[in-house]
Amino acid sequence: MGLQIIGCNYAYGFYSLELFCSIQKQLHRKEIHLYGKAPQVWIDAEGFLHLQNVIDTVHRYGLHIHSFEAAEYGYHFGYTNADMRNCSKRYFQNVVDFCAGASISNLYLYIKPNGFHEADMEKPLLFETFLWISEYAREKGIEICYKCTDRSILFMQELEKLLRQNQFNFSYGLDTLQQPESLSNIISQLGTPDTVFLHGTAQAIEGYLFELTSRCYAGSVVAYKTYMEPCSFEDPDYLNHILQSEVSVQRMAACAKEGSHEL
């Protein structure tokens, strides 16, 4: 079976969800990781908009939402200001409700664990709210997974302990923001991730894919931010660049499975 490449709308942020889905169909993909950012997906502290439109668009192209990721904006569980914290809690609650409404069972959060306006947040508050949102999500049949980079391993270990002590599962997604060797570092400390999020250049991505196949990794790999060549949104060839990058990722994944380098 081996690893499975999943499309993601992150790199299509300035384009419509319709266009993203049509490209995924062209690539013969069946599963997507939906990055929940406006205007493609609108969620705020009051609620959410156009849920049925999102579901209909995805289904029209024969796609299934493998997992969802909250854009998070400036919301944060660790605010000591009660109004801001409650506002943030309402946002994340709405994220869970959106997932429930779209029958999405895996929700990824990427909460900055530290170094973020430290004086305005406290870890006990952060952990208390993690438990609260985990409980809320469990009631709705949704599992929360956490995105991790090699800068947040210690925090993830603390979080894992907390969640397990409180009878929650802990699963994480590995974010390849750093170098390919960081992948081994994170896996050795946190175990096998449920999902790997690919970022970076062609060379880095090939490195990640080989590392994963050499470990017989059989999970999901999200083509998250895979710009094979530098390009920008206003470039008339932007979509072609992205499409070429998407095709390259698929080809590299196939090569990695066979053990032959493409580059």
Partner 1 sequence: MNFDRHAGMNLVYREVPLSVFLSAQRSMGVQSIEFWAGFPHFSLESAKQSDRKGLHSRIRSYGLKTIAVTAPSLGYQYQYCPVSIEMARKCRTYFQNALYLAAELEAPIMTVNSGWSYFDQPAEIGFHHSAELLFELCIVAKGLGIKLALESLTPLESNLATTICSTQALLNLIDHDNLGLTIDTGACACSGETSQIWFQHFQDRILHSHFIDGKEQSVGHLIWGTGSLNIRSELAAYETHHYSGYFSSELASSLYGKDPVTADKKNVSFLKTVMKQ
Which residues here bind partner 1, judged by CB under 8 A?
Answer: 14-16, 19, 38-39, 42-46, 49-50, 71, 73-76, 79, 81, 83-84, 86-87, 115-117, 119-120, 232-234, 238-239
CB of 257 to partner 1, least distance (A): 33
Of the candidates 102, 45, 47, the residue with the CA atom closest to the CA atom of residue 69: 102
Is the Cβ of residue 118 or residue 181 nearer to partner 1 in the bound state?
118
Is the Cβ of residue 1 or residue 119 nearer to partner 1 in the bound state?
119
Is the Cβ of residue 15 or residue 155 nearer to partner 1 in the bound state?
15
Is the Cβ of residue 234 or residue 258 nearer to partner 1 in the bound state?
234
Structure tokens at 145: 């997974």
> What is the amino acid identity at position 263?
L
CB of 234 to partner 1, least distance (A): 4
CB of 198 to partner 1, least distance (A): 20
CB of 74 to partner 1, least distance (A): 3
Residue 81: partners with Cβ closer than 8 Å, 6 or more residues away:
120
Is the Cβ of residue 15 or residue 132 nearer to partner 1 in the bound state?
15
CB of 166 to partner 1, least distance (A): 27
